[in-house]
Amino acid sequence: MIRPTDHPDIPAPRVGVLIVNLGTPDAPDAPAVKRYLREFLSDRRVVEIPPLLWQPILRGIILNTRPKKSAHAYGQVWTNEGSPLAVHTRNTARALAERFADEGVLVDWAMRYGNPSIASRIAAMKQAGCERILFAPLYPQYSSATTATANDALFATLGGMRWQPAIRTLPPYHDDPGYIDALAESAQAHLAELGRPVDALLLTFHGMPERTLHLGDPYHCQCRKTARLLADRLQRPVEVSFQSRFGRAKWLEPSTEDTLARLARGGVKSLAVMAPGFSADCLETLEEIALRGRDVFVENGGEFFGYIPCLNAETRAIDFYQRLMRQNLQGWLT
């Protein structure tokens, strides 16, 4: 059969990796934050309240009061390059692209909420010839409000494509020995840089409503396992807490704010805090923990507070991600 003259060009087939993080507003101002929160808080995986009850509250109260406050918080951690979460995720993708360049693997990045969107990057990767894509949400612990909703957005995108790429999705890696090693090495390096020993090490994870545990979400158990394995690897006891409570429902406990106050009142004078549920530093780590968390600790009698950064795009993180992606690309690489 003769190829029609108007047949579209088809690029050479490639393998792609799309790393994904939660999301961020485009700017640290109220209008941008409002757009971001509207998308984020309208996700039924995030807020499991019937829309008829939730949307009037969201549109009538929250979106008219919270954006200004959140914009101020974003402004405290925003960098010259942009949102910390976007910067670190982009840098991670670039570093991985260099590692896989010789094998022709295209590495890109996206956000579940905000920009660049999952739909836009999947379309760009397909246009570039990616017929096989590893979709990699960088959430160590699985939650329906993070991993599952990212996968939802992916499959919704595929639902609108005539020629879909083959897809693999990255499973949680909360107990992967390479992940635990990377966390431990990072903790040891940053603890040494503090210049003084600490009385306690607190591991803070993002909170979830307690009902998600009873509904079958494995997040709480996976957080606890990460903490146990990291404590074993570091050969030291750790405290575990959950941050970012929102609304009146009961959330996973103990809360990070309460734990910081309790430790300080209980005689802990020097404390280090680490967030092993976050792959990259963001508003919840830099503003909520490194700034406001520090204030809570000091106001209750603490003297020294050291924040240990997320893995971000550190070499140890890229080494781990390269191994993890390669493991999940088996059979696709030649």
Mark the binding-site residues, compressed into ranges.
206, 284
Paired strand residues for 200:
271
Length of the chain: 334
C-alpha 119/C-alpha 160 separation (Å) is 10
How far the first Cα of the chain sits from its last, in Å, is 31
**Nearest Cα residue to 208 out of 229, 194, 223, 191:** 223
Q: Tell the residue number behind the tokens 């990796």, with chain if given.
A: 17
Q: What is the largest CA-CA distance in the chain?
A: 82
Measured CA to CA in angstroms, residue 73 lies from 39, 216, 280, 292, 306 at distances of: 19, 33, 17, 10, 20
Q: 196: which residues sit within 8 A by CB, 6+ positions away? A: 270, 304
User: Could you give the 3-state DSSP secondary structure of residue 132?
Assistant: strand
Q: Which residues are annotated as a binding site for Fe(2+)?
A: 206, 284
**Pair 205, 254: CB distance under 8 Å:** no
Nearest to 140 by CA among 83, 209, 206: 206
- Residues 242, 206: contact at Cβ < 8 Å? yes
Q: In what order do the strands lie in the sheet with 239-243?
A: 239-243, 200-206, 270-274, 304-308
Q: Which residues pair with 117 in a beta bridge?
A: 111
- Contacts (Cβ under 8 Å, ≥6 apart) of 85: 21, 22, 23, 24, 111, 280, 281, 282, 283
